[in-house]
Chain A
């Protein structure tokens, strides 16, 4: 008779079996969330399912507080946790430590792991990004030469800037050999010094088809490329490791073509604008200087230089007049002065005496005035001057002692 076990015993046995299995102590599981409940305690209870199976799951508050997103029914997730048995319900379940949203399951996990590693190495650092040249002369395009991507890229580059050279560097963009092919193409591109920028990419596809662009070797080859690299993988919503390493991420191959070259017309306009600006600025400057010259040359001083002379001439005239007036005054004064002097002179002049009836007697021999009778001798010639006229006389007698005023 076989041994009869209680429910608890069986459950405990299963529990021990499961919980001592190494492989179940840390498992990564992907699946879709259903029956999600957030308990008031903060713990999360849900079921992970795929088409064929279900797995009960619990994520305690201690772990789920670090979640960057809020889980919901229908969301594809990747969780990491341990499998254990909950005896009360007779159920095994996964106790979740980590949860990431994903549509890709293990690929997603690999992606995240690589992303984290490369980020840690600094491969995505903004300061590593090379600036794109404003005007590339030759663009390398790493992609499949037969896809829609190459056609779109060429079409758009030609439309924007028909003079830019394009070199298509063929590479496989999906499948197991794609990473090695992309790496080789990147190395080739790096060895061509005349490339100014490199576009690497492919058109849209499933996550698996785009997977080569999440390859570590491809990421490192992009980082090592001496030319600026624009990534253009799939559609706007597809993010790959290549996008993170590239110097610039374009949402699509067409977008990469647009980012890689400026529109030639726009550039021509820009240069024309600059030239116009320059000419306008210069003519403004010229006009300003011209106006300055005009303003100065219309200054009254320069326009009527004779006015300056006129004013001076007036001054001269005025001065001259003053001078003449002054001279006349001075002369008049002098004349008055002279008349006065003459009058005085008149008073002492011998001529005045003559007027009063006196006469002057000169010795004719030497013209000396005779003051005393003794000064002449009889027979000597005399010249006597009157008020008017002279007479010549000869001395007859000399009486020396007779004085006019002495009584005889």
Chain B
């Protein structure tokens, strides 16, 4: 199960997390099923948080494409 979660995109993970909460809210599940969903939900929330911090926040300017790869330089827009 863990492996499947880490493969999920942020959207998929968040959507699944919301579904799980909905399921638990209905309260129709037995204890074992609820426990399983709870564990999955916690793993999903962790995954979402990880995804959130995944990108680095770089700002770059594209100079061109060389051999299929983007050639870039760090970019700082001019101040007003």
Do chains A and B stick together as partners? yes
* Beta-carbon contacts under 8 Å, B59-80 to A: 59-62, 65, 68, 70, 72, 75, 77-80
Task: Tell me which residues across on chain B come within 8 A of A146, comparing CB atoms.
Answer: 78
B34 within 8 Å of A (CB atoms):
yes
Task: Tell me which residues across on chain A come within 8 A of B14, comparing CB atoms.
Answer: 134, 270-271, 274
Cβ–Cβ contact B55 & A164, under 8 A: yes
Bound complex: CA A151 to CA B77 (Å): 6
Task: Tell me which residues across on chain B come within 8 A of A353, comparing CB atoms.
Answer: none
A90 within 8 Å of B (CB atoms):
no
Cβ–Cβ contact A166 & B52, under 8 A: no
For B21, the closest partner residue in chain A by CB is: A277
CB distance from A283 to the nearest CB of B (A): 10
B11 within 8 Å of A (CB atoms):
yes
Cβ–Cβ contact B51 & A289, under 8 A: no
Bound complex: CA A270 to CA B17 (Å): 11
Cβ–Cβ contact B59 & A168, under 8 A: yes
Cβ–Cβ contact B78 & A264, under 8 A: no
CB distance from B54 to the nearest CB of A (A): 6
A350 within 8 Å of B (CB atoms):
no
Cβ–Cβ contact B38 & A166, under 8 A: no
Interface size class of A (residues with CB under 8 A): 35 or more
Cβ–Cβ contact A264 & B52, under 8 A: yes
Task: Tell me which residues across on chain B come within 8 A of A154, comparing CB atoms.
Answer: 59, 75, 77
Cβ–Cβ contact B52 & A271, under 8 A: yes
For A136, the closest partner residue in chain B by CB is: B55
Which of B41, B60, B65 is the one whose CB lies under 8 Å from A166?
B60
Task: Tell me which residues across on chain A come within 8 A of B68, comparing CB atoms.
Answer: 191
What sequence of 0s and 1s flags, for each residue 128-172 of chain A, a beta carbon within 8 Å of any chain B beta carbon? Answer: 000001110110000001101011001100100011111111100
Task: Tell me which residues across on chain A come within 8 A of B1, comparing CB atoms.
Answer: none
* Beta-carbon contacts under 8 Å, A388-405 to B: none
* Beta-carbon contacts under 8 Å, B29-66 to A: 31, 34-35, 38, 41-42, 45, 48-49, 51-62, 65
Cβ–Cβ contact A278 & B34, under 8 A: no
CB distance from B75 to the nearest CB of A (A): 5
Bound complex: CA A138 to CA B78 (Å): 21
B25 within 8 Å of A (CB atoms):
yes
Cβ–Cβ contact A135 & B75, under 8 A: no
For A268, the closest partner residue in chain B by CB is: B52
Bound complex: CA A223 to CA B72 (Å): 26
Task: Tell me which residues across on chain B come within 8 A of A165, comparing CB atoms.
Answer: 55-60
Cβ–Cβ contact A285 & B34, under 8 A: yes
A267 within 8 Å of B (CB atoms):
yes
Cβ–Cβ contact A278 & B59, under 8 A: no
Cβ–Cβ contact B52 & A282, under 8 A: no
Bound complex: CA A266 to CA B11 (Å): 14
For B17, the closest partner residue in chain A by CB is: A274
For A140, the closest partner residue in chain B by CB is: B62
Which of B27, B34, B45 is the one whose CB lies under 8 Å from A271?
B45
Bound complex: CA A386 to CA B45 (Å): 118
Evaluate whether A138 and B55 lie within 8 angstroms (CB atoms) in the complex, with A151-B80, A170-B61, A278-B21 already known: yes
Cβ–Cβ contact B24 & A278, under 8 A: yes
Task: Tell me which residues across on chain B come within 8 A of A275, comparing CB atoms.
Answer: 41-42, 45
CB distance from A238 to the nearest CB of B (A): 22
Cβ–Cβ contact A282 & B34, under 8 A: yes
Cβ–Cβ contact B55 & A137, under 8 A: yes
Task: Tell me which residues across on chain B come within 8 A of A106, comparing CB atoms.
Answer: none
Bound complex: CA A168 to CA B25 (Å): 45
Most chain B CB within a 10 A radius of its CB, from A169, A192, A281:
A281
Task: Tell me which residues across on chain B come within 8 A of A150, comparing CB atoms.
Answer: 77
A332 within 8 Å of B (CB atoms):
no
A188 within 8 Å of B (CB atoms):
yes
Cβ–Cβ contact A278 & B52, under 8 A: no
CB distance from B46 to the nearest CB of A (A): 9
19 example contacts (A-B, Cβ-Cβ < 8 A) are as follows A133-B9, A133-B11, A138-B55, A151-B77, A151-B78, A163-B54, A188-B62, A267-B52, A268-B52, A270-B14, A271-B14, A274-B18, A277-B21, A278-B20, A278-B41, A278-B45, A281-B25, A282-B38, A285-B34
Other than A188-B62, A191-B68, give 14 A-B pairs with Cβ distance below 8 A: A137-B55, A154-B59, A162-B57, A164-B57, A168-B60, A170-B62, A192-B70, A271-B17, A271-B52, A274-B48, A281-B24, A282-B35, A282-B38, A285-B34
